[in-house]
Structure 1
Amino acid sequence: MDRSSLFQLIQEQLDPEHTGFIPVENFTSLVEHHELRLDPSKLEMLFALVHSNEEGQVCYRELIELMSSKRSSSFRRAIASGRRTLQRDILLDEAGLGVYKRFVRYVAYEILPCESHRRWYFHQNHLCPPPVFMAVITIIQIIVFMCYGVMLNKWVLQTYQPEFMKSPLVYHPGHRAQVWRFLSYMFMHVGLEQLGFNALLQLMIGVPLEMVHGIMRISLLYMAGVVAGSLTVSITDMRAPVVGGSGGVYALCSAHLANVVMNWAGMRCPYKLLRMILALVCMSSEVGRAVWLRFSPPLPSSGPQPSFMAHLSGAVVGISMGLLILRNYEENLQGQCSWWVIIFAFITFLLFAIFWNIFAYELLGVQIPPAP
């Protein structure tokens, strides 16, 4: 029996008057005496939702939402009660899985802190849509870097080449009226070391996050980090250009690391403490390298070197907006007050940054380096 037939049967037999509610006893009897083609984890969640109802009835709308895998409050309640009613075996005990399913299981244990969440994701994952956003961004960044590397015949410290800074993709304060630069700078990189660091983190952390939380949420988080990075530089380091996707990368990494810390007991990824330390050391080293290049460049240059403030602002975006996105797996963000508070704060920052870029440079008399 498919889902549409089941929905029709439920409504006709158990809710003929269209009251919107179904008695728990009747629904349980229906499920037990009809063959359902549902994922095991979803079926267990349905029973958990049914048996946890204190009023002896099930809301028909919430039942449809849960079976349709929609992000809703019914999922949260089913998960909460499912922790008590689900079987105690874990995904790691399942044998005979194919390569893809083993990879999905690995991703579930890397990203999700709750066993019931992991089982839900494992059984409902169909790789549709595939995690293409982070892969496409990384491929474009590599192609752009290789093009400029061949053109300049230089693969490290490319920002010291005047032709590099003339690129229409680089954010430069002298070209801040060209608004696309506040976003397009993420495709340019200082050199091979920065590109390698960003590409590695985007693939190792960004792709699993996108597999679990979807392209819309992860692309929003990444782009918010990128935009916040360039706008923060235009406010705090007004003479400096910006290159690299570090704002978006640090938004992803800080959100994931914060989520791991806040759910430390539930995370089952191996060597999590060692990996946390290594991630923090690598991120701190990257920031330190950016600070060094900004204030103590190893070679003479014609103007200020790219700012490091995009790294820090990306981390702030990840801890604020990103942490909420990652903590609320399969729930509707639009229905949460905290989500709108963060969105309001981000929009307020955007408006302030726009007015700052329009008026502050002239009012403060900032001496901007000549635009390349």
Structure 2
Amino acid sequence: MPWAADKPRGEKRKLYRKIFEECDADGNSLICLDELDNFLRSSGRGLPRDVVRYVHDLADKGGNRTLDFDEFVDLLEHPDWQHVFERWVNSYVHFLVPCPKGAAALVPAAPTTDYARVYQRDSLDYADEYTCRPPPVAMLLITLLEVALFLTDELTQKGSTMRGTGVTADLLVYDPAKRSQCWRYLTYMFVHVGYVHITVNMLVQLTLGVPLEMVHRWWRVLLVYLLGVVAGSLTTSVADPRVRLAGASGGVYALMTAHIASIIMNWREMQFAAVRLFIFGIVVSCDVGSAIYDRYFLNVDHQVGYAAHFGGAVAGLLVGIYALRNLNVTKAERYVWWLALVLYVALTLVAILVNVTFPSRYPAAP
């Protein structure tokens, strides 16, 4: 029989009242989401913000976004969530009312909810987060659309894909002389020059994107990908203002560095994190570095959009840090999150201002 269950109901409520008052930082007899979140973190059992919000909303039967004492007690005794709060409740139990040696405090019931299954372990493991529910289809659908538009140009105008002059290419490619058509900063991802170009990009983005979707969900990965594409064209517009741009490499490189972002923010939960970080770092650095070296030191032009690669890589790292899931948030990681957000917004605004303020840098509109 659990120790807490052996105590009379009145004594249990006294214990819960002490915990409630400790959690109620502002002393208004109500516990808001931030107070519950801070209390969990102060106990060393920090949970992701979305999980704290979920359990808070679960207990908020009054719908006023706060928990009164009775709602708080119901949360502590909820059969699906006792195990989540067991550690910090037990710390108060042992401090306030020492229990007999060998006796249990609050025994956790078998979890039944999805969140409960995830957090029944003392330590989270990144590998356990892979799931196909919901199905990882975002990168697959993007890839199919890119292939469909590529084939549309190839079938309607033979050989146009080798020159980037097809019907869809002419409408979608990033052209510095047509910068006023803002969609081109994104839609150039649907234009590829040659079968090798599209084949490599499609294989890499599926290989990198699907595993990310299985852990971080499709909408987060799609956000990283699309913002990486936009960052690629914005970076090109600043570094190579007279260059036309085609291909999804900005998004592909964003996926590469999104893996690095995920490793950084989930370092303790990921096996062989240092090895993974080293591999992705070497791949990204070598490719972007070799393209820059060829362009500026050897004067060799392989028609590779190095600026788009670099911009996509930077965006993938920064956006990945604040958009992808962080399984166990620490105080230091909160600072990193804010730094990444502010830096991404600042870099984007600078690139936009350069485009708007210095039109003479770009070819005249036809």
Q: TM-score range by the shorter chain?
A: 0.5 to 0.7
Supply the distance in 1 between the matched residues of 2:203 and 2:237 (Cα, whole angstroms). 27
The alpha carbon displacement at 1:277 in A equals 4.5
Name the counterpart of 2:46: none
Deviation per residue, 1:347-370 (Å, 9 max, x gap): 3333332222122122xxx36277
> 2:207 aligned with 1:201, yes or no?
no
TM-score, length-normalised on structure 2? 0.61
Task: Check the 8 A contact 1:213/1:329 in 2, yes or no.
Answer: no
Cross-structure match for 2:246: 243
Q: Which residue of 2 aligns with 1:179?
A: 182
Cα separation, partners in 2 of 1:267 and 1:145, compared to 1, 3 Å: same
Say if 1:198 and 1:245, in contact at 8 Å, map to a contact too: yes
1:82 match: 122
User: How many pairs were matched up?
Assistant: 287
Q: Alignment partner of 1:167: what SS?
A: helix
1:134–1:207 contact (8 Å) kept in structure 2: yes
Identity of aligned residues (%): 30
Tell me the equivalent position of 1:313: 311
Equivalent in 69, 77, 99 of residue 18 of structure 1: 69
Displacement after TM superposition at 1:216 (Å): 2.4
Mapped contact 2:136–2:214 kept (Cα < 8 A): yes
Partner of 1:254: 257
Task: Give the one of 154, 164, 172 matched to 1:169.
Answer: 172
- Map of 1:356 onto structure 2: 354
Q: Does 1:136 align with 2:145?
A: no
Cα root mean square deviation, aligned: 4.7
1:287, 1:164 → 2: CA distance?
A: 34
Q: Structure 1 residues 280, 164: CA separation in 2 closer, same or farther (over 3 Å shift)? A: farther
Distance in 2 separating the partners of 1:339 and 1:236: 27
**Residue 363 of structure 2 corresponds to which residue in structure 1?**
368
Look up the equivalent residue of 1:346 and give its one-letter code: Y
**Could you report, residue by residue, the CA deviation over 1:174-203 in whole angstroms, capped at 9, with x for unpaired residues?**
010000000001111122222122211221
**1:319-340 per-position Cα deviation (integer Å, ceiling 9, x unaligned):** 22213444613879xx945434
Task: Give yes or no for contact 1:186–1:244 (8 Å, CA) kept in 2.
Answer: yes
1:30-49 mapped onto 2 (5 Å cutoff):
31=79, 44-45=83-84, 47-48=86-87
Deviations 1:138-182 (A, max 9, x none): 1011111122222343387x2x35447961100000010000000
Which stretch shifts more, 238-247 or 254-263? 254-263
Q: Point out where structure 1 has 5 or more consecutive residues left out of the alignment.
A: 32-37, 58-65, 84-113, 299-304
1:287 and 1:311 in contact (8 A); partners too: no
Contact kept? 2:185, 2:230, Cα under 8 Å: yes
Aligned position for 2:5: none
**Per the alignment, in what secondary structure is the counterpart of residue 174 of structure 2?**
coil
Please give the TM-score of this superposition, normalised by the length of structure 1.
0.60
Q: Give the AA of the match of 2:247.
A: G
Larger Cα Rg: Structure 1 or Structure 2?
2
**Contact in 2 for aligned 1:228/1:314 (Cα 8 Å):** yes
Q: Deviations over 1:220-263 (max 9, x none)?
A: 21111111111111111100011111111111111214544786
Of residues 224, 228, 248, the one that matches 2:227 is 224
Distance change >3 Å, CA 17–CA 331, structure 1 → 2: closer
Q: In the TM superposition, what is the alpha-carbon distance from 1:134 to its structure 2 partner?
A: 1.0
Inter-partner Cα distance in structure 1 for 2:164 and 2:278: 36
- 2:320 corresponds to 1:322: yes
1:124-148, Cα deviation, whole Å (9 max, x unpaired): x5613x2221111110111111222
Aligned to 1:190: 193
Kindly provide the amino acid, as one letter, of the partner of residue 198 in structure 1. Answer: N
For each residue in 1:28-81, what CA deviation from the matched residue of structure 2 results, as whole angstroms up to 9, or x when unmatched?
xx74xxxxxx6xxx7754545644567779xxxxxxxx96749xxxx9xx68x8
Whose relative contact order is higher, 1 or 2, with alpha carbons under 8 Å and at least 6 apart? 1
| Unmatched tracts of structure 2, length 5 or more | 1-53, 98-111
Cross-structure match for 2:44: none
- Distance in structure 2 (CA, Å) of the matches to 1:142 and 1:56: 65
Amino acid at match of 2:337: W
Once residues 294 and 159 of structure 2 are traced to their aligned partners in structure 1, the CA distance between those partners, rounded to angstroms, is: 20
